[in-house]
Amino acid sequence: MLILISGPYRSGTNDNPEKMAANQNALEAASWPIFQPGYIPMIGEWVAQPVRRAAGGKLPGDDLHEEIFCPAAERLISICDAVLRLSGDGRGADNDVEQAKA
């Protein structure tokens, strides 16, 4: 199974890089318990961040951020078998769950 780990990333950070990194660390911490029994963990930022950099994006919230992050999550959800929603406020994570339910 391919399992998307979803939770807060930008929400509540005011685009502070340290807070965003802490949120990503929390997402990544959930990857080992998924991987250990034989599943494949996936985090949308693992896909979106290098794509945004390759496209010339520099800052969270720039035009490329908006153009890449949500579509990357949507594409991942379409091929994932499940979504693990971590706790915490996150509009994008809430959207991931709603899309997965649909």
Question: What residue ranges do the domains of the chain occupy?
Answer: 2-101
- For 39-53, write each residue's pLDDT tens digit: 999 999 999 999 999
pLDDT of 1 reads 97
**Does residue 96 contact residue 19 with C-beta atoms inside 8 Å?**
no
The rounded distance, in Å, linking the Cα atoms of 89 and 2 is: 24
- Sorting pLDDT into bands at 50, 70 and 90, what band is 35? very high
The rounded distance, in Å, linking the Cα atoms of 20 and 24 is: 6
Q: Residues with Cβ < 8 Å from 86, sequence gap 6 or more? A: 5, 6, 7, 8, 26, 27, 30, 93
**Does residue 66 contact residue 51 with C-beta atoms inside 8 Å?**
no
* Full-model pTM: 0.90
